[in-house]
Structure 1
Amino acid sequence: MSGAPDNAIEVEHVTLELGGRAILNHASFTVRTGEFIGVLGPNGAGKTTLMRALLGLLPLSGGSIRVGGEAVVRGNPSIGYMPQIRSGLAGRRVRGRDFVTMAADGHRWGVPHAGAAIRADVDRVLDLVDAHALAARPLSELSGGERQRLLLAQCLLGNPKVLLLDEPLISLDPRHQTGVVDLVRRVQRELNITVLFSAHELNPLLNSLDRVLYLGNGRAALGTVDEVITKPVLSQLYGSPIDVMRVNGRIFVMSGDVEIDKLDHAHEEGDDGHEHEHDHGHEHGHDHAHKAKGKHTHV
């Protein structure tokens, strides 16, 4: 791979291991600049692990990764990251604007004292996500979808070129899921940035994504929905027979008579200890200084 500027992310023969288990095994794919990529796969397939590797938080066991044509480094300012968040924000009394500002100057606790440049950048990202009305309200009074809007604003500080969004739809109802996906797509198009958006289920992303990256069984498949979401490809990635049904504009991935994403929700990713080993300095995306900065490919 050449590191050409039209490629945002280049993964070449990458092996990633956790606890002695290969999460990815000799995987290769290329994400083009300005693409919206849905990242899917069964529990433990490596969605979060891949994002952590892109952030430079997890060493590669083999191969190479380039972001914007450069080798990955921890603290890459060209990458905005929204970690998976399940609890903790709902009870916080910090105002929305202060919450966003914390990510700009690295303060995790307390009210930050921002300079003019940071205040201007906070205003810019609040405008981008249409969240000025939330700025004066405490997080504890906001809905899950509204809090996700502020988390997206945090990710956009500093004008990153790539956004890594780890399961931003978890715990949101369908209406708020649609709102978050539409917002990310609008901002992505407006800024011409690259988005990797991981999710348990494909359907909320169907009308927004350009291509889908499906991980499973140590492998990666990147292509259009019609190329990747097929019985042969998914059966290979799951390591067992998979059926794909299309009904009224929705896609259902089935193992026998059970829908795959329902199995995934039964025990959320990371509960087996393989998938999630968060670097807690990035847990809430507050440390902006450490925000880490195609063809159809089957591996």
Structure 2
Amino acid sequence: MPAETDEPVIRARNAALAYGTRNVWQDVELDVSRSEFLAVLGPNGSGKTSFMKALLGRVPLSSGQLTVIGRPPGKSGRRLGYIPQQSTLVGQAAMRARDLVRMGIDGHRFGLGLPGHGTGRLVDEILAAVGATDYADVPLDMLSGGEQQRVRVGQALAGDPQLLLCDEPLLSLDLRHQRAVTELVDARRRSHGTAVVFVTHEINPVLGMADRVLYLARGRHRIGTPDDVLTSESLSDLYGTRVDVLRVRDRVVVVGAPDESAGSHHHEPEPPGVRRPARGKQGARA
């Protein structure tokens, strides 16, 4: 387990990102602490994916400052774990589940490293921890979406990270597998004090886990607890139009939030729980 420290694992000061003349988000002031679970929400094109890319060091800020585990983005090495979106397994289809996990221990982006003493045992322990022992030697392209995501969680945890970045890891998963993946992530956070940044289009699978929410919309943002941010008043002010937030059986449903991707090339998933009313009608069924 990493040594405890009061230093935030993510620190943003007046952070802004723009593509040409389009401000994606700006004036972000954020400290993410050890063991904190931050959910990142917002409509299509609001900048959720860009926020993740900024943390990974794949896109530079337009202005402001950002550090990740005390270093510039992209310089955190194995102290940072990353779970990507469900995607095609380009170059990995024939790889076994255990091979992908081993890449998180001694490999790198361009290939597998040489096996070291005890590596095989550690791989087995990780596969067992994420419930993937039964298909450890099965090629990835023969696994279901939920099984693949379990293995990706294992790969991300293999380096014993202090920060876990989860980029829409629940896409294309059914409710059972969504629950399994979120519980794996949350169990790691609680047992090791790992901070989690979880980008998602659907807040409900992580609602009981999230300490705070970063909600992005129209170049603006709100940061706070789910109870503070996910309200009709807060989101109506953020969007500049009437938005209703309903609580139904411990689930959150957002009604009427505009889709920012219309007419743009920035495609990201829908806001959490959105149900759009039919033209000429108000409200929606949960």
- Fold shared, TM-score > 0.5 on shorter chain: yes
Quick one: percent identity of the two aligned structures?
40
Superposed counterparts of 1:276-287, under 5 Å: none
Query: What residue is the counterpart of 1:293 in the other structure?
Result: none
Where 1:54 maps in the other structure, the secondary structure is helix
Query: What residue is the counterpart of 1:7 in the other structure?
Result: 8
Query: How far apart in 2 are the matches of 1:69 and 1:107?
Result: 23
Query: What residue is the counterpart of 2:225 in the other structure?
Result: 224
TM-score (norm. length: structure 2): 0.82
Asked if structure 1 preserves the Cα contact closer than 8 Å seen for 2:69 and 2:76, the reply is: no
Q: Does 1:30 align with 2:9?
A: no
Superposed counterparts of 1:1-299, under 5 Å: 5-74=6-75, 76-88=77-89, 92-103=93-104, 104-106=106-108, 113-116=114-117, 118-255=119-256, 272-274=264-266
Query: How far apart in 2 are the matches of 1:213 and 1:126?
Result: 31
Asked if structure 1 preserves the Cα contact closer than 8 Å seen for 2:44 and 2:266, the reply is: no
Where 1:7 maps in the other structure, the secondary structure is coil
Asked if structure 2 preserves the Cα contact closer than 8 Å seen for 1:128 and 1:187, the reply is: no
Query: How far apart in 2 are the matches of 1:161 and 1:275?
Result: 30
Query: How far apart in 1 are the matches of 2:110 and 2:129?
Result: 23
Question: Which of 1 and 2 has greater Rg?
Answer: 2
**Structure 1 segments of 4+ aligned residues over 6 angstroms from their partners:** none
TM-score (norm. length: structure 1): 0.78
Shift of 1:113: 4.5
Is there any run of 5+ residues in structure 1 with no aligned partner, and where? Answer: 277-299
Query: How far apart in 2 are the matches of 1:156 and 1:248?
Result: 33
Where 1:70 maps in the other structure, the secondary structure is coil
For residues 215-268 of structure 1, give each alpha carbon's deviation from its aligned partner in whole angstroms, at most 9, with x where no partner exists: 11222222111101011221233332211011111110010xxxx59x69xx8x
Query: How far apart in 2 are the matches of 1:172 and 1:185?
Result: 17
Asked if structure 2 preserves the Cα contact closer than 8 Å seen for 1:56 and 1:75, the reply is: no
2:51 counterpart letter in structure 1: L
Shift of 1:117: 5.5
For residues 43-90 of structure 1, give each alpha carbon's deviation from its aligned partner in whole angstroms, at most 9, with x where no partner exists: 111111111111122111111112233333445332111222333379
Root-mean-square deviation (CA), in Å? 2.7
Matched length: 263
Query: How far apart in 2 are the matches of 1:248 and 1:85?
Result: 29
1:22 counterpart letter in structure 2: N
